[in-house]
Amino acid sequence: MSKVILKAENVYKSFGLTKAVQNFSLEIAEGEVHGLIGENGSGKSTFSSMVAGVQTMDAGQLFIDGEPYAPKNAIDASERGVSLVVQEIGTIGTISVAANIFINKEKQFRKGGMIDYKTMYAEAKKILKRIGGEHLDPAAICASLNLEDRKLVEIAKAMYSNPRLLIIDETSNALATHGREVLYQNIRAVKESGGSVLFITHDMEELIEVCDSVTIMRDGVYVDTLRGDEMVAKRLKELMVGREIADNYYRPDFEPKYDADTVVFRATDICAPNASHVSFELHKGEILGLGGLADCGMHEVGRILFGLDRKDSGRVELADGTEIKTPVQAIKLGVGYLSKNRDTEAVILNYSIGDNIVMPSLPDLRKGPFMPKRAEREMADDWVDQLEIKCNGSKQYVKELSGGNKQKVVLAKWLAKDSQILIMDCPTRGIDIGVKEIIYQLMMSLKEQGKSIIMISEEMPELIGMSDRILVMKDYKINKEILRSPEVNEQEVVQYMV
């Protein structure tokens, strides 16, 4: 067996009440590209950030090449040969490409106390050429580059210390085809140089193609490790979800049931950087699924529908033709939006649960000029009980709640507002199974009440299990419309995605 590079033993990590990682162990050998897969919120990003020194562990032990390893920040990690590439923007806009690559590592270019920019830029040019980003100018300010080029700079930063362990955390979906090729080429380079790669993704096909072995995580717990040809998509998915795709988990019925002739919401010919001529109609009481790979443009379409992002052309309107331009107007017209990044956009963390819930419905609570606090508290407590949000009352701050309970607060917000149309972006992302089930039942009850839901999701079982109609998106276009029926299975849907 070749030498083990990374060894993790019963690692624990929890944020307040959420137990992100529990008793997790893992080994990655030399020259191995090891995948790490799991549903959103299964703890894979938390684990990788701990290995990269971005977060500290509550308990457990890490070893690199056999020696104990406890990084406090990215510098300690890169000294031990561990580097990380994340999904969000990892470069600072106001400084140059070279400065980003060598951030906090500028000492090595110091000659007589002065940074020698010539060698620094030369070195940056070299590493950029090595990773396939030779078209980038080391002196350019990062803000002037497009998203993909900025990601290449991050890859260069990670590859510069020719890492023993390169961690890629869901980066691929921020890259277009060319960028992805560069990434795979670098993974191969690390592999040949005797290093190892921890590749985190939830895109099945990419994982099977790139990784030698894969570990599956579910709700912070180690599930299994598959190697070589054991890695089959269906098997992986079952391990990921942890149960056969139980029938009653989602909707019991198999026919599309919605009021086909009353349209409540219409999007015509929406064009934007990642949406090309998207048009569809939403009917009363319908759950419309919007599926596809992470970067197929569905998330951006969701934001455009709610008026959050601008669009080149096209029109978003209700049945009676009133156009939706801004979120404030949308909310007034009864449209709700659940963002996929929950902590920063869907809910205000440093704010009490009650205030979060009543926020959109404040105008409706008003009796004349006066807005009784009693009414607010009643509405808040009423929805906290209805959704059984585990907390010590509606005065408590949202930041103290678990992921599932936070999502309940977001849902309570729009239920309190009695919004007729809900745009849900990855509604069950990073949520434990128990709450997922409640959310699905809630969606069903909303559907019965005649409300309509646009559900944007990257999880196949959820899309197939819940939607009356699925619009599969690929390369920013609606590729196929699939009606709900018992024969629909994942392979059929996936083929329109890839």
Partner 1 sequence: MKAKVIGQKIVATLIIPCAVYLLFLILRPQVFGQTSLIWTLFNQSIANIIMAWGLSFEMTAGNMDMSVGAEMILGSLVGCMFAKTLGIPGIILGALLVALIIGVLKSVLSALINMKTMIISIAYTLILGSVGYLVVKGESVIITSDQTTLGKFPYTLIILVVAGIVMYVLDRFSVFGAHCRALGGNENLAVVAGIKKKTVETKAIFICSIYAALSAIIYLSRGAGTAAQTGLSSMSTVFGAMTGVFIAMILVKYINMTVGIVVGVVSMNIITIGLIALNMPSSMKDSVNGGFLLLLMIINDIIQKREADKLYRAASMTRITEEQAVAAE
Partner 2 sequence: MADKALNAKKYQKSALISDLLPLGGLIAVVILFGILTKGKIFSSFSLQTIYNQSFLYILGGLGCAFLFAQGAIDLSMGAVIALCSILGAFAANQYGIIACILVCLIVGTICGTITGFIYSHTNIAVFILGLSVCFLIKGTLYQITNGQASISIPYADKKMFTPIWISAVVMVVFALIIYYLFEYHTMGKHSKAIGAGIAAAAQSGVDVTKIKWLGFVISGFTCGMVAFFTMVKTGSGGPATGSNFEFNVMIAMILGGMPSEGGARAKIKSCFIGAILIAFYSNGMVLLGADSRVQEILKGVVFIVVIVGTYRMQMQAEGKKAFQFFGLKLAKKNG
Binding site for partner 2 (CB under 8 A): 16-17, 306, 308, 326-328, 331-332, 337, 339, 344-352, 355-356, 359-360, 362-363, 370-373, 390-392, 396-397, 400, 413
Does residue 117 touch partner 1 according to CB under 8 A?
yes
47 binds partner 1 (CB under 8 A): no
Sign of CA dihedral 202, 208, 211, 214: positive
Among 15, 56, 106, 323, binds partner 1 (CB under 8 A): 106
Q: CB of 179: closest distance to partner 1 in angstroms?
A: 12
Considering the complex, what minimum distance in angstroms separates the CB of residue 233 from partner 2?
A: 35
Angle (deg, nearest 10), helices 177-192 and 117-131:
100
> What is the token pair recorded at 214?
């894969």
Q: Beta strands 275-284 and 259-272: pairing type?
A: antiparallel
Which one of the spans 16-24, 66-74, 235-243, 347-355 is the region binding partner 1 (CB under 8 A)? 66-74
Query: Minimum CB separation from partner 2 for residue 419, in Å?
Result: 11
From residue 409 to residue 448, the character string flagging contacts with partner 1 as x (rule: CB under 8 A) and all else as - is: ----------------------------------------
Partner that binds at residue 403, options partner 2, partner 1, none, CB closer than 5 to 8 Å by kind = none
Question: Among residues 8, 50, 85, 99, which is the contact residue for partner 1, using CB under 8 A?
Answer: 99
Which of 41, 90, 195, 430 forms a contact with partner 1 (CB under 8 A)? 90
Check if the beta carbon of residue 416 is closer than 8 Å to that of residue 364.
no
Q: Does 138 bind partner 1 (CB under 8 A)?
A: no
Cα(58)–Cα(20) distance, integer angstroms: 11
113 is a site residue for partner 1 (CB under 8 A): yes
Integer Cα distance of 357 and 379 in angstroms: 8
Collect all residues with Cβ–Cβ distance below 8 Å to 100 and sequence separation of at least 6: 91, 92, 142, 153, 154, 157
Please tell me the distance from the alpha carbon of residue 203 to that of residue 211, in angstroms, as a whole number.
12
Return the number of the residue (171 or 394) whose C-beta is nearest partner 1: 171
Find out whether 78 and 105 touch, Cβ atoms under 8 Å. Answer: yes
- 413 contact, one of partner 1, partner 2, none, CB 5-8 Å limit per kind: partner 2
**Residue 323 pairs with which residues in a beta bridge?**
317
Binder to partner 1 among 4, 29, 54, 260 (CB under 8 A)? 54
* 108 CB-near residues (< 8 Å, 6+ apart): 102
User: Which of 9, 65, 76, 281 is in the footprint of partner 1 by CB under 8 A?
Assistant: 76
Residue 359 contact, options partner 2, partner 1, none, Cβ 5-8 Å cut-off depending on partner type: partner 2
Between CA 188 and CA 180 the distance in angstroms is 12
Q: How many residues bind partner 1 (CB under 8 A)?
A: 37
For residue 194, give the DSSP letter. T
92 binds partner 1 (CB under 8 A): yes
495 binds, among partner 1, partner 2, none (CB under 5 to 8 A by kind): none
User: Helices 433-448 and 403-417 sit at what angle, rounded to 10 degrees?
Assistant: 10
What is the closest distance, in whole angstroms, from the C-beta atom of residue 146 to partner 1 in the complex? 7
Distance in Å from the first CA to the final CA of the chain? 36
Q: Judge contact between 172 and 180, C-beta under 8 A.
A: yes
Q: How far apart are CA 288 and CA 74, in angstroms?
A: 43
Q: Which residue among 3, 110, 126, 235 contacts partner 1 (CB under 8 A)?
A: 110
Residues 251-280 touching partner 1, rule: CB under 8 A, are 271-274, 276
CA gap 483, 107 in Å, rounded: 60
- Residue 481, helix vs strand vs coil: strand
Query: Under the criterion CB under 8 A, does residue 343 sit at the interface with partner 1?
Result: no
Q: Are 173 and 143 in contact (CB under 8 A)?
A: no
Assess 359 for contact with partner 1 (CB under 8 A).
no
Nearest-angstrom CA–CA distance, 86 and 84: 6
Alpha helix segments (H runs only) across 307-344: 327-332
State the minimum distance, in angstroms, from the CB of residue 115 to partner 1: 5
34 vs 417, beta carbon nearer partner 2: 417
Which of 95, 246, 483, 498 is close enough to bind partner 1 by CB under 8 A? 95
Helix (H, G, I), strand (E, B), or coil: what is residue 492? Answer: helix
Query: Which segment (141-149, 167-175, 203-211, 459-467) binds partner 1 by CB under 8 A?
Result: 141-149
- Asked if 103 touches partner 1 (CB under 8 A), the answer is yes
399, with CB counted inside 10 A (0-12, 13-18, 19+), is middle
| Residue 320 exposed, middle or buried by CB count within 10 Å (0-12, 13-18, 19+) | exposed
From partner 1, partner 2, none, which one binds at residue 331 (CB under 5 to 8 Å depending on kind)? partner 2
Q: How far apart are CA 328 and CA 128, in angstroms?
A: 44
The entry of partner 2, partner 1, none near residue 355 (CB within 5 to 8 angstroms by kind) is partner 2
**Residue 312 binds which entry of partner 2, partner 1, none, CB below 5-8 Å type-dependent:** partner 1
For residue 84, what are the contacts with CB-CB under 8 A and spacing of at least 6? 48, 49, 51, 52, 54, 74, 77, 158, 167, 169
Q: Give me the least distance between CB of 43 and partner 2, in Å please.
A: 19
Residue 3 or 366: which CB sits closer to partner 2? 366
> What is the nearest approach in angstroms of partner 2 to the Cβ of residue 345?
5
* Interface with partner 1 (CB under 8 A): 53-54, 72-76, 90-95, 99, 103-104, 106-107, 110, 113-115, 117, 141, 143-144, 146, 271-274, 276, 310, 312, 475-477
